[in-house]
Amino acid sequence: MKKGLASLPKTHLHLHFTGAMRPETMRALALEQGTRLPAHLLEQDPLTVPADARGWFRFQRSYDAARTLVRSETVMRRIVREAAEDDAAEGSVRLEMQVDPTSYAPWVGGLTPALEIILDEAKEASKATGVEVAVIVAASRTRHPLDARTLARLAAQYAGDGPGEVVGFGLSNDERVGETSEFSAAFRIAKQAGLAAVPHGGELLGPDSIRQVVGHLGPKRLGHGVRVSEDPVLLQRLVEEDIAFEVCPTSNVSLGVYPSRSDVPLRTLLDSGATIALGADDPLLFHSRLVDQYQIAKNDHGFTTQELAVLARGSIDASLASESKKRLWRAGVEEWLAKQ
């Protein structure tokens, strides 16, 4: 029986594949493979770095070190399965997991098998845990825009809205790298296949970057997007355009976007009427999962029970699930509220 905020039905819309790995799984794999991990990855403390180029570099290096452990179908399946199990324990009803299959492709015979392994396990994990696990294929800003197009074409072949299907197309990695407009062709391909655009933006950079992302990529949701709070007019526009925000408070603090949890502009976004979906981003590095983000809203921002339910409903509304599922889950939120 789940308790407290873990019993509140919610979706999880911002979680990266490798970043979802359990710390104990990472340690076990390193031992098995005889890999020496950098000391800071083995520490119990979460990674914290300043929001500058060096900080991001350290974050990326940590991420890359963890990724070198993912070299087989078995490990790929294990990550998806454990992420679904962890989400299930936290009251998540739907996980939309982001993956760039490029890094894993060499170990399993190419991009197509890499994505198919993840999709197949997403389907299996959905059956086993009751959490709908769908996939967002995300291109990287640090690679050539033509690579993004290749990924969009691949993603398009598996488009759908259910478990084990690709539901969206993203753009991740260092927001300061690459020209946003050059990725618009990839997003056009994805959208033609019915995939939602869910790029990162407004995390390391402010309103100007958000304008670029919105103008060129036409997002349904923004990964982070929190720095929109620096421009109230833009925020209002995005709310009117029904663009949701995947807000990851712990990630923002760990990556130095805000000095403390209470500085994350959750209240500003909520008061503006924005649709918010809280997410953990990379719990492997930040040591904080989904329910922790709701806990931050409650403890650091004084969100009431009603407001926590608004967040949960927002996460359901912003998901790419079927309308019938959304109705069911919203009813679950009402039931939760009635019990408080």
**Sequence-ordered alpha helix ranges (H) in 34-104:** 39-42, 53-67, 73-89
Q: How far is the CB of 13 from Zn ion (least distance, A)?
A: 10
Name the segment binding Zn ion (CB under 5 A); options: 46-54, 65-73, 118-126, 276-284. Answer: 276-284
For the CB of residue 172, give the shortest distance to Zn ion in the complex, in Å: 6
| Region binding Zn ion by CB under 5 A among candidate stretches 84-92, 188-196, 281-289, 303-311 | 281-289
Count of residues of this chain found to bind Zn ion when the rule CB under 5 A is applied: 1
**SS3 label, residue 63:** helix
**Catalytic residues, which ones?**
203
Judge whether 199 and 152 are in contact, CB under 8 Å.
Answer: no
Binding to Zn ion by CB under 5 A, coded x per residue (else -) over 233-272, reads ----------------------------------------
Q: How far is the CB of 251 from Zn ion (least distance, A)?
A: 7
134 SS3 class: strand
Q: Measured between alpha carbons, how far is 334 from 340 in angstroms, rounded to an integer?
A: 10
Q: Give the interface segment with Zn ion, choosing from 101-109, 144-152, 266-274, 275-283 (CB under 5 A).
A: 275-283
| Residues in CB range of 227: below 8 A, 6 or more apart | 202, 203, 205, 206, 207, 209, 210, 257
Scanning 22-30, 127-135, 162-170, 279-287 for contacts with Zn ion by CB under 5 A, the matching segment is 279-287
Site string for Zn ion, 152-191 (x = CB under 5 A): ----------------------------------------
Of 121 and 281, which CB lies nearer to Zn ion in the complex structure?
A: 281
Q: Which is nearer to Zn ion, 286 or 294 (CB)?
A: 286
Separation CA 102–CA 198 (nearest Å): 18
Looking at the Cβ atoms of 175 and 281, the one nearer to Zn ion is 281
Q: Tokens 């926590």, residue?
A: 308
- Name the residue nearer to Zn ion (CB basis): 132 or 281: 281
Single out the residue of 93, 157, 181, 39 nearest to residue 169, CA to CA.
157
Alpha-helical segments (H) within 109-231: 111-129, 145-156, 184-192, 207-217
Question: How many other CB atoms are found less than 10 A from the CB of residue 287?
Answer: 17
| CA separation for the pair 183, 166 (Å, rounded) | 19
Q: Which residue is nearest to Zn ion (CB)?
A: 281
Q: Residue 116 or 282: which CB sits closer to Zn ion?
A: 282
Q: In the complex, which residues of this chain contact Zn ion (CB under 5 A)?
A: 281
